[in-house]
Chains A and B, each alone.
Chain A
Amino acid sequence: MIVVEVLDHRGHLRERVRVVAFPASIGRAYDNDIIVDDRLVSPHHARLTIADDGWVIAEDLDSLNGIRGQSGGPRISRLVVPSGGQLRLGRGSLRIVDAALPVAPAVAEDLAQGALPRLFGSALGSLVICAAAIAALTWSSYLGGYERTNTAKVVSQALALALVLAIWAGGWSLAGRLLSHRVSFLAHAAVASAALLMGVALNVAGEWLGFATGAERVERAFFGMVMLGVAIAALNAHLRLATSLARPRRLVAAASLVMAVLAFVAIDAYGDREPFSTEMEFSAILKPLDTRLVRSVSADEFSREMIGMQSRVDSLALKSRSK
């Protein structure tokens, strides 16, 4: 006994039909055993027979568009299809599966959903994440300022953040509504919030570690890379909620989008670069950290480093003079 799987043009499974008797007819007409709803498929398009040795054979019934092998190619009047193999007709294809093919055991409900979808799936979970992100951003912006402020100012800033988040989630919801008939407003908001939370955490961690170790650039580069990963993951999650793209294509789309934005920023910065500046570029991060936790050098070591700098300064003068 075999099962015929009807696949659409994107390879998504549309229907499974158990074939109990041969020959089995295929076509758009309602009297067929396997009905394929596709304007390119003739009312009576093809039929499946079974050979003595058990092979399934597809035969073209002089249809308009014919049948083809799994990888396309020219139309074929008669095609042997192995178990698990496919034949193409119309825009989609048919996959022949042996009914005896074993399937994997069931997985528990929560595992199948994964930890993130569970959190993002529930309205409460989403709201908690959004609130946490808004609180974290507002708090870090409060700690990053030094002017006198009051509750109303802090609250209005938080509300402004919530508004921006709502607009962002709204945009994705609209896209989802158009592309895959799913809105998922709260889930989109939660995805963006989670990314923001990660961003705040990475930024804080980068600054403190950079200050404590004195190697701000290394820290910045590392956390920048992680931040890039977070952005791609967030975009991937948005796409997953809003479209029906397969996982590999989603990841490619998310990564390309992030890279495109990065490239744009880089090109823009390159265009604005100043070949000469009177600015002194040094790391000026200061944190209220116990000085015992800060990596430091003695004044003597620093003084020796100053001597070592001269060759770098001088080479700069030589380099641009030869230009």
Chain B
Amino acid sequence: MTGAAGRGRRTLLARGIALGLPAMAAATAGAQESSSLAAAVFASHAGQVVKVQVVETGSAAKAVIGSGFYATARGHVITNYHVIAKLVAHPERYRAEVIDRGGRTWAVRLLDVDVVSDLAVLATDARPADPLLLSTAPLRQGVRLYALGHPLDLGLSIVEGTYNGFLEHTLYPKIHFTGALNPGMSGGPTIDRDGRVIGINVSTEGNEVSFLVPAGRARALMDRALQARYQPPEKFLPVISRQILAYQQEYLGRLFADSVPRVALGHYLLPTRPAAFFKCWADADRDEDDPYEETRHRCSTDDYVFISGDQSTGVVEVHHTLLHSAELNPFRFYALFEQRFRSERSGSYGTEEDLTRFTCDARNVRQGSLVVRAAFCVRRYRKLDGLYDAVLTAATLGDAASGVVTTLTLTGVSYGNAQRIATRYLRSIAWSE
């Protein structure tokens, strides 16, 4: 729901969008300053890195460029799912091709995807002599790594950087790579000095904070796609639905199930950080000019799943706003409270092509000694069967000088999970003296 762009993290797509000179300078400077070792790494392995292009069939124009690498001698190429996402959504409008170091262009066939890890395997007729090996051996933090790819379609580049271990608080492992990844490098390999692939370039937060999909995920995908009886599906959208459904079932199954950790805001006890892969922030506003105080608490998962340029999913978010005023009379306090509750109605980004409108049900609900005004809103994914976005938002009633607006947002979940988790969430709201 929260779009990739909205979260500040960018996938490394290049669509003729220049990111400005500083980013390019950083990338090329990195290459120039590289030691002779980097030069050696580049010389021996650059031949295995390819440019992946998604071409609009009507105009024969490039729609997306990214990077990839040969992972088998039979010409299998690994890249990011997001590089070839257009091909999945509109196979009739796009085709893909890879261009190798020697300038040869190979037609590709999409073999399999792992949308959750953002990976795809492509089959080509190329027969590379020396494909890259995937490595899952543990590394020490600080080890030098080399990212390869086609930043901004400027030609194959090498970026030297540092291995900084796996990210904390993520559901699925991701490698923190300190080095400037830029659009166009998506899907390219990040290798160690011996040419073993440690991770696949996937996204950046800017300022050399970059992320890699661990090679183990690519290994698992390859193992599946290279089985003798594996047949690539006719349509990939149902595959993607199934993968996201399995993913959400895994991480949501037990969410808010047993003892929910709760945070006290005023006299209210509210669910917080339901699992280790959530990050939480709190903030309090006490503006002298305002006749009220506002305390906010927010927890969100950090992982999101890229579906298309218009749609990301897989984010769970919880936020609470406690309002309190000793100054406003009950009517004026409720005018404020209602305004904050009302503002929860502006849903999150989405397009008609991908989603239905929200359907809502709102009730005054008894929960323990509290009565809350609760609204449950759901919308369905149009292309991905069985997936929904759901929002439960509630305002506590009965106190003339304080109240909480609390909202749970689930994206890309099954209806059953949406209903179950929203109910568990609602039940974990309580009043304490």
Contact = CB atoms under 8 A, between A and B. Distances in A.
Interface residues of B, number: 66
Given A275-B352, A298-B365, A299-B427, A288 B334 contact: yes
A103 interface: no
Contacts of B352: 275-276, 320
B364 A313 contact: no
A296 B426 contact: no
A222 B345 CA distance: 25
A286 B337 contact: yes
A41 B366 CA distance: 82
Contacts of A275: 352
Contacts of B378: 309-310, 313
Interface string B392-416: 0101011010010000000000010
A313 B356 contact: yes
A277 B344 CA distance: 14
A185 to B, nearest CB: 34
A295 B364 contact: yes
A296 B363 contact: yes
B397 A291 contact: yes
B357 A277 contact: yes
B213 interface: no
Contact of B395 (A286, A295, A316): A286
A305 interface: yes
A208 B315 CA distance: 37
Contact of B328 (A146, A301, A310, A316): A146
Contact of A288 (B331, B350, B393, B426): B331
Given A279-B345, A286-B341, A296-B366, A309 B361 contact: yes
A278 interface: yes
B290 interface: yes
B333 interface: yes
A288 B359 CA distance: 27
Interface stretch (B21-29, B63-71, B124-132, B368-376): B368-376
A101 interface: no
A313 B335 contact: no
Contact of A314 (B329, B331, B380): B380
B419 A280 contact: no
Contacts, number: 166
Contact of B382 (A146, A290, A291, A317): A317
A140 B333 CA distance: 13
B366 A143 contact: no
B397 A294 contact: yes
B328 to A, nearest CB: 6
Nearest to B329: A143
B166 interface: no
Contact of B331 (A143, A214, A278, A303): A143
A146 B292 contact: yes
B364 to A, nearest CB: 4
Contact of B423 (A142, A286, A287, A299): A299
B358 interface: yes
Nearest to A320: B356
Given A299-B366, A299-B423, A143 B376 contact: no
Contacts of B73: none
B371 to A, nearest CB: 4
A65 interface: no
A297 B363 contact: yes
A80 B326 CA distance: 86
A158 B221 CA distance: 71
A168 interface: no
A113 B246 CA distance: 78
A116 interface: no
Contact of A316 (B339, B374, B380): B380
B231 interface: no
Nearest to B1: A278
Contacts of A310: 378, 415, 419
Nearest to A314: B380
A291 B358 CA distance: 28
A30 to B, nearest CB: 73
Closest 5 CB pairs of A and B: A146-B336, A276-B352, A288-B330, A296-B364, A278-B347
9 contacts: A145-B332, A145-B335, A278-B349, A282-B361, A286-B397, A305-B361, A306-B361, A316-B380, A320-B356
Given A279-B358, A299-B423, 9 more contacts: A146-B335, A148-B290, A280-B347, A281-B358, A284-B338, A286-B403, A289-B397, A297-B364, A305-B363
